[in-house]
């Protein structure tokens, strides 16, 4: 025992890391029961009630879901909102023009009346949640098919949502957890008048581009700011010049005291999707069939967008947001392939499932669980080639403006055609605006090339599963086919679409070559044979039983449910990765402005920097944001458990003060959505000191910083 103690003391003296990352994305209502004591030992100074309370203001009231896909936090009494630059990307691009290019050059509203309103942007406040598992599960039984089970659950969910929405005041969502073994309802309040306050130029907000994405060391100022507006009574309201900044129940104070190794760090946010319970067959399917097709299809779309984006600022603005979204997942999926393969994740899952199968076939368990693994594996064997096919087709639909046309804009036109004369007259102004908007968001030559390339890729690579009927006929002549349909379709001409509004015809729409192609592709993508329907039914019920059995048998120690865009808390520490010669920091848990300037390449699309930033760096004009050790901080690492959707989440110290902004993960732990790596899992965060330095020193927008409660301890 003395020898063990001596070794541990020696490790501590030498600074060797003996801590480990804390796995889990936890419900706020469970913190007191499951996590509070552990968090207090690590440095939490708040009570569970100060984090989540129904009756009093708490940290949850300062955190919002941002536009359905990211997280943001309130940092002033006037509802100033901080999120990532890439989360605000759509809105910033929409508001930009070649003459006033906020995406490229940045923007800071000099006053509240200069804040800009995007067409569609909202934030969602979390009000409360509760467990309704017993109530919902009482409505189902093992004899039901999955379709029957889903209907019974949906009927009960509709009742629960109506009971809790207070006459439409709130949005209520009942969500499934642990693969349908538990259910909780969530009550939200949405605010739709959200205005753009400011952002740094893209050379700061996206510094490093695709090259540095998912990489450490990192020097990206990935942040942007917005403000929530409400009516005079503080209620949600559509945009109006009479609206006023919301007075939130809670906003975060901002701590510029800095961070150091092993400081406590917690993150609240809306992680989008993890698959920690995914069976071995699903992992194998992703690695060998689905993700390679996703990666290849994404790259084809990106290459054809980029070909036009570099031609002018106007074309760059049209495709910047779509390109960024595709590029992000392109690198993510390749990283997943590499990480899952390197760590043999499917093999370790298969070993767990073999143990489960032994337990499942014990006499007392066999009737319920005995054939679970067999049915799961049969499903994946049946759908491997379909997964490859579907991912090629999905990337076609995702990167081409015309791939989804029959279900999107085309469907609106179909509804217009079905209306009577009075209905069409009422709908016509909105449809005219939709048509104009549609053509401002695409470039016909680019769309033609994207569709050609994606159809050719799909036709040649998706051979293990039947192609969509329309593609079979044109597979050997894709170029001429696309040229022809672009000449004939009403969807490639604003004038033809406007004329259609005056003489609408369902038949014309149905027979339009682009509408017909899109309809055929999407119909084929969603079609199911009887064999597939049965296998899917068996799989869904078996997967649910697998998760139930793994929890019952204690073979899986996971206590938290997979992420599904509901508010979660994750906690850990500021924690370094092993020393890396690419980082000049003394401890590899932070980066400095010096290391950023070393990456600077004048005129480079990914590594250029503004002249003003370089001049401020040369003068060492860092003000109160300089670290005590003399460097200007940019980013830092924690070992929190996050995933997509956590982008923009606040990184908080033990007092609940804002110390950083989560924006990425490290590629070494890219398998994190499936299996948590306690040694390598890291969250990459923008240091709040760099955020404030950019606003105050670089942008001369000190009035924005003056809104915040800035503290140093």
H or E segment at 573?
strand 568-573
Q: Which position has the token pair 């200007």? A: 632
Match 């896909």 to its residue by tokens: 69
Choose among 86, 202, 203, 105: nearest CA to 599.
Answer: 203
Residue bearing tokens 């994946």: 380
Question: Of 674, 462, 651, which is closest to residue 572 (Cα–Cα)?
Answer: 651
Residues 6 or more apart in contact with residue 225 via CB below 8 angstroms: 80, 81, 82, 83, 88, 196, 197, 198, 199, 704
Cα angle value 700/706/710 (rounded, 5°): 115
CB distance 178 to 548 below 8 Å: yes
Which DSSP string do the residues of 165-233 spell out, in sequence order?
STTTTSEEEEEEEGGGTEEEEEEEEEE-EEEEEEE--HHHHTTTHHHHTT-SS------EEEEEEE-TT
Q: Which residues are registered as beta bridge partners of 65?
A: 71, 124
Ordered alpha helix ranges (H), 400-443: 409-418, 421-440
Any idea what the Cα angle at residue 631 is, between residues 630 and 637, rounded to 5°? 130
> Any bridge partners for residue 514, and if so which?
none
Q: What is the CA radius of gyration of the chain?
A: 26
Comparing C-alpha atoms, which of 651, 633, 632 is closest to residue 641?
Answer: 651
**Catalytic positions, written as ranges:** 86, 222, 647
Instruction: Name every residue whose Cβ is closer than 8 Å to that of residue 686 and which is 6 or more positions away in sequence.
Output: 220, 221, 222, 223, 634, 635, 660, 661, 663
């Amino acid at each position: 025992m003395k020898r063990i103690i001596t070794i541990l003391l020696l490790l501590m003296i030498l600074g060797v890391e003996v801590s480990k990352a804390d796995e889990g994305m936890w419900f706020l209502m469970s913190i007191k029961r499951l996590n509070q004591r552990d968090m207090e030992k690590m440095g939490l100074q708040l009570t569970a009630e100060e984090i989540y309370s129904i009756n009093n203001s708490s940290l949850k009231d300062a955190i919002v879901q941002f536009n359905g896909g990211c997280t943001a936090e309130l940092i002033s009494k006037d509802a100033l909102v901080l999120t990532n630059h890439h989360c605000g990307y759509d809105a910033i691009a929409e508001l930009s023009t070649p003459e006033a290019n906020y995406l490229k050059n940045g923007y800071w509203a000099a006053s509240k009346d200069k804040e800009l309103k995007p067409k569609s942007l909202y934030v969602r406040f979390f009000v409360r949640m509760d467990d309704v598992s017993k109530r919902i599960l009482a409505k189902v039984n093992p004899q039901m098919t999955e379709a029957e089970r889903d209907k019974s659950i949906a009927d009960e969910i509709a009742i629960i949502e109506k009971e809790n929405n207070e006459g439409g005041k709130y949005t209520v969502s009942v969500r499934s957890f642990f693969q349908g073994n538990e259910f909780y309802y969530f009550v939200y309040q949405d605010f739709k008048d959200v205005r753009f306050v400011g952002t740094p130029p893209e050379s700061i907000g996206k510094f490093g581009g695709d090259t540095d994405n998912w990489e450490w060391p990192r020097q990206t100022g990935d942040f942007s700011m917005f403000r929530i507006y409400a009516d005079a009574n503080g209620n949600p309201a559509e945009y109006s010049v009479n609206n006023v900044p919301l007075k939130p129940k809670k906003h975060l104070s901002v701590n510029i005291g800095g961070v150091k190794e092993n400081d406590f760090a917690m993150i609240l946010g809306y992680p989008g999707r993890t698959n920690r319970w995914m069976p071995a067959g699903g992992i194998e399917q992703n690695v060998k069939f689905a993700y390679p097709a996703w990666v290849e299809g994404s790259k084809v779309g990106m290459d054809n967008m980029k070909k036009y984006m570099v031609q002018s600022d106007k074309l760059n603005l049209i495709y910047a947001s779509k390109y960024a979204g595709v590029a992000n997942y392109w690198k993510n999926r390749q990283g997943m392939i590499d990480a899952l393969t390197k760590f043999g994740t499917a093999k370790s899952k298969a070993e767990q499932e073999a143990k489960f199968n032994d337990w499942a076939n014990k006499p007392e368990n066999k009737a319920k669980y005995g054939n679970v693994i067999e049915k799961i594996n049969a499903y994946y064997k049946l759908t491997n080639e379909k997964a490859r096919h579907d991912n090629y087709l999905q990337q076609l639909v995702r990167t081409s403006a015309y791939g989804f046309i029959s279900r999107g804009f085309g469907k609106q036109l179909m509804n217009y055609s079905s209306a009577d004369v009075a209905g069409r007259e009422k709908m016509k102004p909105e449809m005219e605006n939709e048509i104009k908007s549609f053509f401002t968001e695409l470039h016909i030559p680019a769309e033609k090339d994207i569709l050609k390339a994606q159809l050719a890729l799909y036709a040649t690579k998706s051979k293990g599963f039947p192609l969509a009927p329309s593609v079979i006929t044109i597979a050997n002549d894709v170029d001429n086919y696309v040229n022809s349909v672009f000449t004939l379709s009403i969807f490639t001409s604003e004038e033809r679409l406007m004329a259609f509004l005056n003489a609408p015809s369902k038949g014309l729409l149905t027979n339009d070559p682009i509408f017909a192609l899109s309809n055929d592709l999407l119909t084929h993508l969603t079609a199911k044979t009887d064999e597939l329907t049965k296998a899917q039914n068996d799989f869904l019920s078996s997967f649910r039983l697998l998760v139930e059995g793994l929890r019952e048998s204690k073979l899986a120690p996971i206590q938290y449910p997979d992420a599904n865009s509901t508010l979660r808390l994750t906690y850990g520490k500021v924690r370094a990765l092993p020393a890396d010669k690419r980082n000049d920091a003394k401890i590899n848990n932070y980066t400095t402005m010096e290391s950023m300037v070393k990456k600077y390449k004048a005129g480079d699309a990914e590594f250029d920097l503004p002249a003003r930033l370089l001049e401020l760096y040369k003068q060492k004009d860092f003000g109160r944001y300089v670290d005590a050790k003399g460097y200007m901080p940019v980013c830092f690492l924690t070992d929190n458990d996050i995933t997509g959707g956590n982008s923009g989440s606040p990184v908080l110290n033990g007092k609940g003060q804002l110390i950083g902004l989560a924006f990425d993960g490290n590629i070494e732990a890219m398998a994190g959505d499936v299996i948590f790596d306690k040694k390598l899992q890291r969250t990459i965060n923008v240091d709040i000191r760099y955020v404030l330095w950019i606003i105050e020193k670089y942008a001369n927008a000190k009035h924005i910083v003056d809104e915040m409660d800035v503290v140093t301890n």
